[in-house]
């Protein structure tokens, strides 16, 4: 399985608007995506009020590529988010089974 860690920093003043998108659109979308094993959404904390994240566990690299495309190593956001997002990052790991 592939663990994908996606982090977003919102533009100043866009936290509430992004939070509405995050909770109303992004989380349900990821939870219902084929090949998704687990989604762990992370909301901002007081020390980082503009930071949101997703830890996603994909069943396979093929499943991840079916969602994100061959360029899966690049962070993709919905065009409607562009005005809300200042920075984004993505990292991938092999999940360690315990």
Give mean pLDDT, residues 16-37.
92
Query: What is the radius of gyration, based on Cα positions, of the chain?
Result: 13
pLDDT of residue 82 exceeding 80: yes
What CATH number is attached to the domain comprising 7?
A: 3.30.70.100
State the pTM of this model. Answer: 0.88
Report the domain count for the chain. Answer: 1
pLDDT of residue 28 exceeding 80: yes
Q: pLDDT per residue over 61-71, tens digit each?
A: 999 999 999 99
d(CA 95, CA 91): 12
The CB density around residue 64, as the number of other CB atoms within 10 Å, is 21
- Asked whether 96 and 34 are in contact (CB, 8 A), the reply is no
Confidence label for 79 from pLDDT (cuts 50, 70 and 90):
confident
* Residue 77: domain span: 2-94
Predicted local confidence at residue 33, as pLDDT? 93
């Amino acid at each position: 399985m592939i663990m994908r860690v996606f982090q977003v920093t919102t533009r100043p003043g866009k936290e509430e608007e992004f939070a509405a998108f995050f909770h109303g659109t992004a989380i349900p979308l990821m939870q219902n995506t084929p090949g998704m094993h687990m989604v762990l959404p992370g909301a901002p904390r007081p020390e980082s009020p503009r930071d949101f994240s997703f830890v996603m566990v994909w069943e396979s690299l093929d499943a991840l590529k079916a969602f994100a495309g061959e360029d899966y190593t690049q962070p993709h956001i919905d065009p409607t988010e562009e005005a809300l997002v200042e920075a984004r990052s993505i990292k991938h790991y092999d999940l360690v089974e315990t």
